[in-house]
Amino acid sequence: MTTVVKAVKAAQRWLLGLMLACYVLAGVLPAPGEALRAAALPAPVGSGELTVPMVLLAVMLFNAGLGVRLAELRVVVRRPVRLVFGVAVNALLPLLVLPLVALALRVWPDQAEAEGLVVGLMLVLAMPIAGGAASWGQNAGGNVPLVVAMVIGSTLLSPLTVPLGMHVAGGLVGPGGAGALDDTTKVDVIARTGAGVFTLVSVVLPCLLGVLVRMLLGEERVRRVLPAVKAVNLVNILLLCYINAAGALGQALAHPDPDLLVLALVLSGAVCCLAFYCGRWLSCWTRCDRPDGISLTFATGMNNSSAAAVLAACWFSHRPEVLLPILSYSLLQKIVAGAAGTPRRPRPDAALPASVLPAAARTAPPSASGRQG
């Protein structure tokens, strides 16, 4: 088990590089990924089918639920204001941001590409808070139980928030928009039936099942199997990266469009940075203490891009402009999270006890020392 723990820690340190390697493999060798994505199991899910990526996503969310300690959430539930505030901000932000993005993209010469990008960004922003926000928040010194509670809260609301986001996207790309996207009817179908059923089957139920299994097994048994669970989760994440990217990147390389790729990267990066900035601004505006502020920042900025990619690959596998912003967002939000979670460097004299400082510094009046800082 020690070897597994070491391997998991090494993989976590190199997760971004491993994800990039999966993207490169998907672009160079897309056929196996496309075959896995198209494979359907004999179980209907709403108006669609149960696919291999949906199963992998469900396993990932089950493992996330297995890592939730309900005892740590009691204090958060007793003080629910910041919990409700964080979940509400994450759910409402895409409804405010995406119409502005769609308006800005009206100047793009190919409106089918522009509207595909809008649908892709709405898919990822409408998804619940990413489970990885808890890990990033913990590394940055955040209130981990609060982040976990936000993840669970947004996950439980996802059968409502994801269809709502798709309804908004349908209004932006349908008759009320430019109307160039030939899959406009698919957006409407996803909003009415597909999104709610998808999030319920692949996101909500697996997460709740994981929480229930942890309660039944007990803390000690779960603690013993957690290293293996984390190893399975990492393999799952990388396999999902490869499968979801296989169609989009394969088509992008077969018919290269550098302008579209650059636009997807720039747009995803701008929206991702804006989401993190809004979270940080809101934490200052509500006068959160530092741990709660970090939690609010990561909860606002990070969304479950894996779930968005699976849903997009199920419905828009032939349209790379829908998948490209999701894949870009998946990588960029981890880069931005790493930058947002970097602790501030203290002043050189802040870490020194008073006895170590020079006598002049110890006797200086507060106003003088303030000017020096």
Contact 293, 341 (CB under 8 A): no
List the domain boundaries for the chain: 9-342
The amino acid at residue 139 is N
- Residue 287, SS3 per DSSP: coil
* Weakest mean pLDDT among 78-92, 302-316, 339-353: 339-353
Structure tokens at 348: 């050189």
Q: Which of 224, 205, 240, 225 is nearest to 61 (CA)?
A: 205
pLDDT band at 311 (very low <50, low <70, confident <90, very high): confident
- Cβ-proximal residues to 266 (8 Å cutoff; 6+ apart), any chain: none
What burial class does residue 254 get, using C-beta atoms within 10 Å of its C-beta: 0-12 exposed, 13-18 middle, 19+ buried?
exposed
Query: What average pLDDT does this structure show over 160-169?
Result: 79
89, pLDDT greater than 80 = yes
- Work out the pLDDT band at 252, boundaries 50, 70, 90: low
Higher pLDDT, 290 or 176: 290
The answer, yes or no, to whether residue 19 has pLDDT greater than 50, is yes
**pLDDT at res. 95:** 83
Q: What does residue 303 show for φ and ψ, rounded to 5 degrees?
A: -125, 160
pLDDT interval class at 72 (50, 70, 90): confident
At residue 351, the pLDDT reads: 43
In this prediction, residue 333 carries a pLDDT of 85
Q: Where residue 163 falls among pLDDT bands split at 50, 70, 90?
A: confident
d(CA 125, CA 162): 9
| Band of pLDDT at residue 372, cut at 50, 70 and 90 | very low
Q: What is the pTM of this model?
A: 0.75
Of 78-87, 151-160, 169-178, least confident by mean pLDDT is 169-178
305-315 and 111-126 helices cross at what angle (nearest 10)? 140
pLDDT of residue 364 exceeding 60, the answer is: no
* Record: fold of 9-342: Na+/H+ antiporter like fold (1.20.1530)
pLDDT at 353: 44
Q: Which pLDDT value is given to residue 362?
A: 40
DSSP one-letter code for 204:
I
